[in-house]
Amino acid sequence: MALTAVLLPRRPHALARVPQTRAPTFTCRETDTLGLAIGRLAATRAHRIFVVDADHHPLRVISVTDVLRTALA
């Protein structure tokens, strides 16, 4: 299942609230699967992952909470 099919309608405003930091960021593409995004979240122990376009511009943020809401829906 592609991320856009599951999480696109969720929290598009979240990018506006993410502060500018120099901490590492973790990304995936819109065409990646939900499983890949969950795997990256688990492997990095991050609370959120950025969905980026082909030019690595952020499009949206997916959080662990978003994944859980989708899984429990």
Tens digits of per-residue pLDDT, 19-68? 565 667 789 998 999 899 999 999 988 899 999 998 888 899 999 998 88
Position 39 scores a pLDDT of 92
Contact 12, 60 (CB under 8 A): yes
- Answer yes or no: are the C-beta atoms of 6 and 68 closer than 8 Å: no
Query: Which pLDDT does position 64 carry in this prediction?
Result: 92
What pLDDT is stored for residue 3 in this prediction? 60
Q: Which two tokens stand for residue 52?
A: 């980026």
- Give the model's pLDDT for residue 25: 79
Distance between CA 2 and CA 5 in Å, rounded?
A: 5
Report the SS3 class of residue 54. coil
pTM exceeds cut of 0.75: no
What is the third-level CATH fold of 3-72? CBS-domain (3.10.580)
The pLDDT of residue 70 is: 84
> For the chain, what are the domain ranges?
3-72
